[in-house]
Structure 1
Amino acid sequence: MIMEISDKELLKIESDDLKYFSETRIIDIPRRVVLNFFESIPIGFVTFNVRYFNRNAYITYYVKSDMRGKGYGKVILKKAIDYAFDEMNLNRLTAEVYEYNEISIYLLEKLGFVKEGVLRKAKYSQGRYFDIYVYGLLKDERR
């Protein structure tokens, strides 16, 4: 698998998947580092919204729908975690995930992220409010 460093994602998020992302995905945020992943085609990305002074980044990840269920998510996220801690010299990664995104919750926990809090009824989607779970991973806790 090939990994390319960039300041933008090469894949557009499919409209059915927008419900898994916060409104910050609509706004171009400075301080982003993007890792795009390919086989023969782009399969996904990981974006770090970096807080340099605190050596922390908010992490967002995505795997194209037709590539899911094949283990790419775990591989991509693990490579990105290693890159963040080993190359970017970060001390912490933070992830926010919506309560209904069970696959993402499972993946984060499998890779060592710890659930640190809940933003109650903070996500509005399809006429309902949902909780946002906040996960964190420290450099010395990674698996």
Structure 2
Amino acid sequence: MLFESSRVSFRKTTEEDAAVYHTWRNDMEVMRTTNPSLDLFTYAETRQFVEQVILGSGTSKSYMILDKLSERPIGITSLIQLDFKNRSAECILDIGEKEFWGKGYGNESLRLLLNYAFHELNLHRVSLRVFAFNDKAVALYEKIGFKREGISRQALFREGQWHDLLHMGILQEEYKAG
């Protein structure tokens, strides 16, 4: 199957996923490394975000990441700003269920998404943005083959300090070589 590996599978995100996404979106430990604002959201705000941003965009594809054993949603991944003319997109990966952190689920999910992006959609380039203090994510992205392409200096104020935002990208030929 296109969207499964040994431990995870993807399914299209639906409006019903707003409830679990709301839980992740309001967990500060989960959002510390992915959300620039660190605001708490009402359920209505989360539902509106899911409907308009995640599901309502004509230039994105979003999938819930499921643990294959339990079929439980453990995160969300997306290709956004899909540009088929220039064969590029930006990817997003969030593992929302903390008991799945540090066990390779992010790696497995990102590889599934990149396989889809490069082998099915025939994209030439996939980019991402990551907070510079998120050492584990940066190491994962570099292990997969992403290259650092730039820095937005001191773009994020978190925990009393300014932090950089790293811009990273990987080309189709680099991913195939990995």
TM-score (norm 1): 0.87
What residue in structure 2 maps to residue 70 of structure 1? 103
What residue in structure 2 maps to residue 32 of structure 1? 60
TM-score (norm 2): 0.71
What residue in structure 1 maps to residue 42 of structure 2? none
Determine whether 1:16 maps to 2:48. Answer: no
1:9, distance to aligned residue in structure 2 (A): 9.3
Measured in 2, the distance between the counterparts of 1:8 and 1:119 equals 33
Measured in 2, the distance between the counterparts of 1:19 and 1:2 equals 25
Consecutive unaligned residues in structure 2, runs of 5 or more: 1-7, 38-45
Which letter maps to 2:106? G
What residue in structure 1 maps to residue 126 of structure 2? 93
Which has the larger share of strand? 1
> What RMSD in Å do the two structures reach over aligned CA positions?
2.4
Q: 1:8/1:140 Cα in 2 relative to 1: closer, same or farther (>3 Å)?
A: farther
Measured in 1, the distance between the counterparts of 2:145 and 2:155 equals 24
Deviation string for 1:5-63 (max 9, x for gaps)?
A: 33679342333222222459x86532221122212111222111123232211111011
Determine whether 1:56 maps to 2:56. Answer: no
Q: 1:100/1:123 Cα in 2 relative to 1: closer, same or farther (>3 Å)?
A: same
Q: How many equivalent residue pairs?
A: 143
Measured in 2, the distance between the counterparts of 1:129 and 1:9 equals 36
Q: Which has the greater radius of gyration?
A: 2
1:125, distance to aligned residue in structure 2 (A): 1.8
Identical positions, percent? 26
